[in-house]
Amino acid sequence: MMESNRGHLLPIYVLADESGSMTEHIDDLNDGLRSLHQALLGEPMAAAKVRFSVLGFSDDVVERVHLVDLRSANEFPLLRTRGMTSYLAAFEDLINRIPGDVNALKSEGYQVHRPAVFFLSDGLPNHGEDWQDAHRRLTDRSVTLGAPNIIACGIVDADAQTIDQVATEPQFGFVANKGVDVGGAIAKFCTALTKSVISSGRSLGSASPQLVVDKPEGFTVAIDVI
């Protein structure tokens, strides 16, 4: 007989830009995700409260890790660069993916908190794509089951106004300060992601569960620089 309540879970998605412009930086991002994994292994109570997916997007979306319990995961598969920068493909994938994931976790007896998407891009979306409509459908809570909170981080050539549009709250959009080392900025993104995952996981065991978002060091809230 299925357990009626196996506890609370927060699905977390890392949606990472794998377009060709990330070639020089993809190793830094893979290193950062490995560090996140190691940090979560040292926080088993927090790790138990999250399920972690890593998605790489360019012309399409490649699932690198799917709703993994980081306590039992081996090494992460590597992100790999390829193609262009289709925000449309990224958001369409989440529209199709998240409701199924939420229903699957519920069917296993979990209470599921609103998913969080950590979005990282180093450039502009493909010209001419209506990614905004897909983004509206994805984040409309009357349309998409589990419409996520999106925390958006832009580095290198990412446009602050675009990043602000991707983020679901003004305080969830960040752009790296001009002139910073890109590898360092990616490391700071991963550090902030790790802190956010641990803090959010810990809060799910408290009386006031919440999504905790840690601003990456060396980044500015996107709306402040428009």
Rounded to whole angstroms, the Cα distance separating 88 from 45 reads 36
DSSP secondary structure letter of residue 147 = P
Q: What's the first-to-final CA gap in the chain, in angstroms?
A: 55
Rounded to whole angstroms, the Cα distance separating 102 from 92 reads 16
Residue 211 has pLDDT above 70, yes or no: yes
Asked if 40 contacts 46 with a C-beta cutoff of 8 angstroms, the reply is: yes
Asked if 28 contacts 182 with a C-beta cutoff of 8 angstroms, the reply is: yes
Rounded to whole angstroms, the Cα distance separating 116 from 46 reads 15
SS3 for 183-204 is HHHHHHHHHHHHHHHHHHHHHC
Plot region of 206 (φ>0 → left; ψ -120 to 50 → alpha; else → beta): beta
Tens digits of residue pLDDT in 58-113: 999 999 999 999 888 887 789 999 999 999 999 999 999 999 999 999 999 999 99
Q: Specify the pLDDT at position 205.
A: 76
Residue type, position 50, single letter: V
Report residue 54 as tokens: 């890593």
Q: Specify the pLDDT at position 225.
A: 45
Tens digits of residue pLDDT in 137-161: 999 999 999 999 999 999 998 999 9
Residue type, position 58, single letter: S
Q: Specify the pLDDT at position 3.
A: 47
Residue 22 has pLDDT above 90, yes or no: yes
Rounded to whole angstroms, the Cα distance separating 139 from 153 reads 17
Rounded to whole angstroms, the Cα distance separating 186 from 130 reads 27
DSSP secondary structure letter of residue 170 = G
- Whole-model pTM over 0.85: yes
